[in-house]
Amino acid sequence: MDKKKQFKVTASSLVDLKAELYRKQQEFQQDKLTQHGGTSTAGSTARPKLKKPSIWSKQNEGVTARAQRDVEISAEEENNLEKSKKKLEEKARLYEQMTKGDFPDEETEGLFLVDFTQKIIDQRRDAHANTRDEEELDQQIPVPPPQNPDEEWVEYVDALGRSRKCLRKDLPDFQKMDQDLQKNRLGSGDKTLLSEDMRREIQREEWEAEEEESMKRPVGPIHYENIREQEARELGVGYFAFANDEEQRRKQRDTLDMLRDQTTDQRSKRERLKEKRKALLEARLAKVRMRKTKKGKLDGSEEDSGAAVQEDEEKEEEVPEMPPVPKVDVEIQERKDTKPGVPHVREWDRGKEFMWDQWVSGRRDERDTEFAPPSAYFSGQNRAENQNKAKLSFKWAGTQTHSSQHTRAPTAQQSSSQTTPPPPRSEQGHPQSLDDMLSFYKNS
């Protein structure tokens, strides 16, 4: 075929070619559906092909369950994280509170590993040192010379006798302020007709009277209150103004000494109580460690247990010795309001026809056996009662043999008087109260 030859293609030929191509495509689709789905009629519809799932699309067994468990575990971890966050925030608040010196309890201050008191002192010391360094730096900086005379620094003495420094332009205002303060100090609130000379004369007379009184007093130590006079300086809350009289001053000193002793007493008691609690806590921890070492021995870890025992011994050596507890002697006294061997009758039981024990036993006798407790409940009680009876009978026989050996010429009257009566018993044959038993054994 000649490639250089040109074909004449019209629009109608292109449309025919397209139609033929579309028809061939439809026939190919029909043949493909017929081969896979069998013979198909004109009215039947093509069924979709069911593809076999591949190994990549198949899920492993338990994937969904594991995913659900992971979700639950993540929720639990979030809860634990939230709790841990709250605990850490609470600890941070407590730490910040304690670094400021606000302890929740003074007695538990020694339980913490951090010495917050020393930390506060160090912080304040550092702050004071920084302030002092800044002041020294400010002093080292040269002051520029004043540009005009009003900005020059001058020194003056105020009405209270203090040396002050201010600018020259502010000096008249400060001097006027001192004059007003001096007037308020010297003059009272109400207006008086006294002149300055009269006021000075009154002050001179008061001073002379004080000097005469001081000359009449016996010669003794001079205190600050004797020479203070009308000092305007405030000495603060820590200053205590003692009286000029020696007797009254001595009483005030004794009172202050007593208060100081009480304070030291309370402080020492608090310290002893704190040490006692600490010792009890250490003893409890030692018991816990001993219990853990025993468990470790049972498990086979003897080396770890030996180290733990050594640590416990060191801790026990560090525990302070407790003061010896005074021994208490228990002395049993016999009741003097009753005769020996006779049961004691209480004040509120006198005149009654029956006692509480009789009433209880009567109610038990009237009780229906169907509602009574099982007999197995009383087996141990009956056994204990029988043992007590055997002990009492043995003691009673011993007292009889002892009395028969010491009697030489017994008569009927003497034997009746020397033989010890048996221990008092109730109507049911049981021993009476503790007072009756003690009185019986004392007389025997």
Q: Does 157 lie in the same domain as 122?
A: no
Of the residues 156, 188, 220, the one at which a domain ends: 188
Per-residue HEC secondary structure of the chain comes to: CCCCCCCCCCHHHHHHHHHHHHHHHHHHHHHHHHHHHCCCCCCCCCCCCCCCCCCCCCCCCCHHHHHHHHHHHHHHHHHHHHHHHHHHHHHHHHHHHHHCCCCCCCHHHHHCCCCHHHHHHHHHHHHHHHHHHHHHHHHHCCCCCCCCHHHCEEEEECCCCCEEEEEHHHHHHHHHHHHHHHHHHHCCCCCCCCCHHHHHHHHHHHHHHHHHHHHHCCCCCCCHHHHHCCCCCCCCCCCCCCCCCHHHHHHHHHHHHHHHHHHHHHHHHHHHHHHHHHHHHHHHHHHHHHHHHHHHHHHCCHHHHHHHHHHHHHHHHHCCCCCCCCCCCCCCCCCCCCCCCCCCCCHHHCCCCCCHHHHHHHHHHHCCHHHCCCHHHHHHHHHHHHHHHHHHHHHHHHHHHHHHHHCCCCCHHHHHHHCCCCCCECCCCCECCHHHHHHHHHHC
Q: What is the pLDDT of residue 381?
A: 60
Q: What is the pLDDT of residue 402?
A: 46
* 439, part of any domain: yes
382-434 tens-digit pLDDT: 666 666 655 555 444 444 444 444 444 444 444 444 444 454 454 444 445 55
* 198, part of any domain: no
Kindly compute the dihedral angle of the four CA atoms of residues 265, 267, 273, 279, in this order, to the nearest 10 degrees. -120
Q: Does 125 lie in the same domain as 91?
A: yes
Q: Does 339 lie in the same domain as 444?
A: yes
Q: What is the pLDDT of residue 219?
A: 72
- What are the angstrom distances between the C-alpha of 190 and each of 159, 181, 186, 198, 201? 22, 16, 12, 16, 20
Radius of gyration of the chain from its Cα atoms, rounded to whole angstroms:
55
Whether this prediction's pTM lies above 0.75 is answered by: no
Burial environment of residue 305 by CB neighbours within 10 A (0 to 12, 13 to 18, 19 or more): buried
Which single residue is written with the structure tokens 């007797």?
247
Q: What is the pLDDT of residue 310?
A: 57
* 435 closest CA partner among 330, 336, 328, 353: 336
Task: Quote the Cα angle for 125-130-133, to 5°.
Answer: 125
What domain count does the chain have? 4
* 403, part of any domain: no
> Where residue 134 falls among pLDDT bands split at 50, 70, 90?
confident
324-337 tens-digit pLDDT: 655 555 455 555 55
CA atoms of 58 and 409, how far apart (whole Å)? 117
Mean pLDDT taken over the chain: 74
Task: Quote the Cα angle for 167-173-176, to 5°.
Answer: 135
- What are the angstrom distances between the C-alpha of 208 and each of 118, 187, 196, 314, 320? 55, 21, 18, 75, 66
Q: What is the pLDDT of residue 417?
A: 43
* 282, part of any domain: yes
Q: What is the pLDDT of residue 419?
A: 44
* 243, part of any domain: no
* 399, part of any domain: no
286-322 tens-digit pLDDT: 999 898 888 887 766 545 555 555 555 555 555 455 5
334-355 tens-digit pLDDT: 555 555 555 666 777 777 666 6
CB of 166 closer than 8 Å to CB of 154: yes
* 348, part of any domain: yes
CB of 244 closer than 8 Å to CB of 226: yes
Residue 312: domain span: 263-318
Beta-sheet pairing, 153-157 with 163-167: antiparallel
CB of 116 closer than 8 Å to CB of 126: no
Q: Does 306 lie in the same domain as 278?
A: yes
Q: Does 94 lie in the same domain as 181?
A: no
CA atoms of 267 and 420, how far apart (whole Å)? 62
135-185 tens-digit pLDDT: 888 777 777 787 888 888 889 898 888 888 898 899 999 999 988 888 777
CB of 424 closer than 8 Å to CB of 432: yes
> Where residue 86 falls among pLDDT bands split at 50, 70, 90?
very high
> Where residue 258 falls among pLDDT bands split at 50, 70, 90?
very high
What is the arithmetic mean of pLDDT over 34-52?
A: 58
* 114, part of any domain: yes
Q: What is the pLDDT of residue 357?
A: 73
Q: In degrees rounded to 5, what are phi and psi of residue 155?
A: -110, 145
CA atoms of 62 and 70, how far apart (whole Å)? 12
CB of 317 closer than 8 Å to CB of 283: no
Half-sphere exposure of 277 (CA within 13 A, CB side): 11
